[in-house]
A and B are shown apart, each in its own frame.
Chain A
Amino acid sequence: MAKRLDLKDVDIYYGDFHAVQNVNLSVPPRSVTSFIGPSGCGKSTVLRTLNRMHEEIPGARVEGQIQLDGEDIYARGSDAVAVRRTIGMVFQRPNPFPTMSIRDNVVAGLKLQGVRDKKKLDEVCEASLRGANLWKEVSGRLDKPGGGLSGGQQQRLCIARAIAVQPDVLLMDEPCSALDPISTLAIEDLIGDLKKDYTIVIVTHNMQQAARVSDQTAFFNLEATGKPGHLVEIDDTEKIFSNPTERETEDYISGRFG
């Protein structure tokens, strides 16, 4: 059940610091949108506001509207926990729960939300691991700790864990930056598969990766350190990498940055 994301006039603050200024963009369902830009431009910050994860940092706040299929996720009375059940997230470094087996890691979300039915949990476990292209590698050792897998496998385990709760949107914060090229390829292939069922937003520092996996690309930039980051442009990935509208974008992707 992929859903559409719309950001309208979004401003993000950490206390007094204006981190990101006036972002307007739309993410259509069943597509991959990548956020690129230099460090500190606010792309990860924007990503984290999409499922209200930034609220874990004291003093962080958002102005403007972020809508999931037209419903404001920051509306009065809307619950951050409920938002995160709908909008899942995969992080930069693989972070399986160290006290849990591979199986328990995958179904952790469901289990902790109160699902007890063992048969259902086993089904979800297998489906999610298959979805994350990990089933063949781990089906024989589901009871072993998740920490024993390789980095790339751990990251796919985290993706399996994220899709096990059946979110509508999947956010990925530099999911390959801690992985070797082969594991990266595995994750990129997986993103291509997941696109059929999910709306995906991925932050990446690797422009080739953005070009390979995404349908549209958003370029963020900042004028200087201490100034707020802003969205320069968002367009079809092909257009951004071949014929961007803005000069800034062209300078960045061609390496003439700064």
Chain B
Amino acid sequence: MSAALDAPERPAVPATFRNVSTARKVKNQAATVLVTLAFLVALVPLVWLLVSVLIKGVPAIVSADWWTRSLSGVTPDEVRGGVYHAIVGTLVQALIAGIIAVPVGILAAVYLVEYGRGRLAKITSFMVDILSGVPSIVAALFIFALFISIGGLSQSGFLVGLALVLLMLPVVIRNTEEMLQLVPDELREASYALGIPKWKTILRIVLPTALSGTVTGVMLAFARVMGETAPVLVLVGYARAINFNPFEGNQASLPLLIYTELSTNPSAAGQLRIWGGALTLILIVMVFQLAASVISRYSAISK
């Protein structure tokens, strides 16, 4: 107590920082509640979807056959076989799209960012914008008209891949473009000042700096096109057996398998396959997205 008595008496300080008006407090609380509610509302369909796919799909995918066998020789109401044939088809068709769309997309982005000045660049950029707004059914019908109606080819997984190119290209271009623009001009200047030619600067300085973001974007583009349904409905027939050859014959894919089972097979086994197929597709897409983040983390570290 004596310490308190010894202390000189301080003048009363007005509580400047505690004087918050009630109206402001209420508004603050209301806003917090509102955004939290909005977040929860947005979360509901996501969680609902994920949970129901998990509950109904897990029983289908836990068997080893699911991942290693096709539906060849399996009757519609039989709980047997697997979706290996559809996984193969999905991956093969996405791979075809990637082989074409990734290099073309990255090079186009390099052109737009590093070289593009004047009209050609503007037109290209405008076309990419239009392409990114094209619905997948339109892309599919375009390929159908060009290669099947005019070209006289028959349906195949390869044509699906071509339609997916149209959907993948704008995603790859836009993303790579953004990543290249993030590379500071100072790095380009530093490289030029060392007497390094422009093409080498792009290849050895700019692209490696933008690599992680570019790879992530490519992975996300893959993830996006693998779930596309319109191209597989229009451009290829469903096959219950494994077909590695995208140039000949029918080829299944996960969206096509789901659609086919849904429209032709009302049995319990069919229902199980639909949910299993959906879960498998989600898992594959997730693997790609995880791979994207892992790759981006590793490539950010210099060798």
A-side residues, CB < 8 A to B, are 51, 53, 56, 58, 81-86, 88-89, 91, 93, 95-101, 104, 108-109, 112-113, 145, 158, 161-162, 165
Contact of B302 among A83, A86, A99, A161 (CB under 8 A): A99
Q: Is B189 an interface residue (CB 8 A)?
A: yes
Instruction: Give the size range of B's interface with the partner.
Output: 20 to 34
Contact of B195 among A85, A93, A99 (CB under 8 A): A85
Query: In the complex, how many angstroms separate the beta carbon of A68 from the nearest chain B beta carbon?
Result: 14
Q: Which residues of A contact B122 (CB under 8 A)?
A: none
Query: In the complex, how many angstroms separate the beta carbon of B296 from the nearest chain A beta carbon?
Result: 13
Q: Which residues of A contact B184 (CB under 8 A)?
A: 95
Q: Evaluate contact between A81 and B193: CB separation under 8 angstroms.
A: no
Contact of B192 among A56, A98, A99 (CB under 8 A): A56
Q: Evaluate contact between A88 and B302: CB separation under 8 angstroms.
A: no
B-side residues, CB < 8 A to A, are 117, 184, 186-197, 200, 204-205, 208-209, 211, 301-303
* Chain B contact residues, majority secondary structure: helix
Query: In the complex, how many angstroms separate the beta carbon of A156 from the nearest chain B beta carbon?
Result: 14
Q: Evaluate contact between B195 and A84: CB separation under 8 angstroms.
A: yes
Q: Which residues of B contact A165 (CB under 8 A)?
A: 194-195
Q: Evaluate contact between A53 and B192: CB separation under 8 angstroms.
A: yes
Q: Which residues of B contact A108 (CB under 8 A)?
A: 191, 194, 196, 205
Q: Evaluate contact between A112 and B193: CB separation under 8 angstroms.
A: no
Given contacts A99-B208, A145-B302, contact A91 B195 (CB under 8 A): no
Q: Evaluate contact between B303 and A101: CB separation under 8 angstroms.
A: yes
Q: Which residues of B contact A91 (CB under 8 A)?
A: 186, 189-190, 193
Closest 8 CB pairs of A and B: A85-B195, A109-B194, A89-B193, A95-B186, A84-B195, A99-B208, A95-B190, A112-B196
Report how far A75 CA is from B24 CA in the complex, Å: 70
- With both beta carbons as reference points, the residue of chain B lying nearest to A144 in the complex is identified as B302
6 contacts between A and B (CB under 8 A): A53-B192, A91-B193, A96-B190, A99-B208, A112-B191, A162-B193
If A85-B195, A95-B189, A108-B205 are given as contacts, then 19 extra A-B residue pairs at C-beta distance below 8 Å, sorted by A number, are A53-B193, A56-B189, A58-B117, A81-B195, A84-B195, A95-B184, A97-B187, A97-B191, A97-B209, A98-B209, A99-B209, A104-B302, A104-B303, A108-B194, A109-B194, A109-B195, A112-B200, A113-B196, A161-B194
Report how far A86 CA is from B193 CA in the complex, Å: 9
- Among B184, B187, B192, B208, the most chain A Cβ lie within 10 Å of the Cβ of B192
Report how far A197 CA is from B103 CA in the complex, Å: 46
Q: Which residues of A contact B204 (CB under 8 A)?
A: 112
- Among B189, B195, B211, B302, the most chain A Cβ lie within 10 Å of the Cβ of B195
Query: In the complex, how many angstroms separate the beta carbon of A39 from the nearest chain B beta carbon?
Result: 19
Contact of A88 among B193, B208, B211, B303 (CB under 8 A): B193
Contact of A97 among B195, B197, B205, B211 (CB under 8 A): B205
